[in-house]
Structure 1
Amino acid sequence: MSYADVRELQSALTTASDIAFSLGSEPSALETDQLTDALRRALAAAGALGAGHGSTGCAEHPRGATDPLYGDKDDPLPPGWGRCLLCNDRRRRASAQRRGGR
């Protein structure tokens, strides 16, 4: 996340807010188009804030699925494992093969 990304989000939200508060009871097509554009700009800027980060914390699959067993008290993950379902599944399969499983 960069300062420029945050500033873009703030600018887009301020613009959208200014337009929204100046709308009359029957906004014109131009006003609604301007509001829509400002909101789209804000949405894009908000999406860019987390572009480099993912919920998995995995460099290979930052936007991958999160392991549902992560943090489960009944089945804790081994040391060094993360939240990435894809990587953890691969690790589980590899350890099962080493133990003579499937």
Structure 2
Amino acid sequence: MGYADLRELRSALTTASDIAFALDAAPAPHEADQLQEALRRALAAAGALGAGMGATGCAEHPRGAVDPLYGDEESPLPPGWGRCLLCNDRRRRAGAQRRGWR
């Protein structure tokens, strides 16, 4: 993750754009293959950009468990809460203690 991935993403997108704008209505097979390869490079670079945060998006637990209640429409998470099960569980426990629950 970092500047090299961002540079690769920009390069691949520029290449794909150049190829796409140069295509005729009926591109040759090798032109379509070149476009697909540039788009694959861009997709891989874009994936590498977010790889450092993990599924939770949590800086403390980037590879931790995702909260199963995240995004549940019936019981939405409070503002400021994320997808990290560990952090959300800690918040839930702290809230329960403040309310006098055990």
TM-score normalized by the length of structure 2:
0.66
Percent identity over the alignment is 56
- CA distance in 2 between counterparts of 1:53 and 1:9 reads 18
| 1:43-54 map, 5 Å | 43-54=43-54
SS at match of 1:60: coil
Flag structure 2 segments of 5+ consecutive residues without an equivalent.
Answer: none
Residue 22 in 1 paired to residue 30 in 2? no
> Which residue is 2:82 aligned to?
83
Matches within 5 A, 1:1-102: 1-54=1-54, 56-62=57-63, 64-65=66-67, 66=70, 68-71=76-79, 82-87=81-86, 88-89=88-89, 92=92, 99-100=101-102
Cα distance 1:70–1:56, how it changes in 2: closer, same or farther (>3 A)? farther
Aligned-partner SS, 2:60: coil
In structure 1, stretches of 5+ residues that fail to align are 72-76
Letter in 2 for 1:22: A
The answer as to whether partners of 2:61 and 2:84 remain within 8 angstroms in 1 is no
State the Cα distance separating 1:35 from its structure 2 match.
0.4
CA root-mean-square deviation: 3.0
Contact 2:19/2:34 (<8 A) preserved: yes
Paired with 2:18 and 2:83, the residues of 1 have a C-alpha distance of 41
The normalised TM-score by structure 1 is 0.66
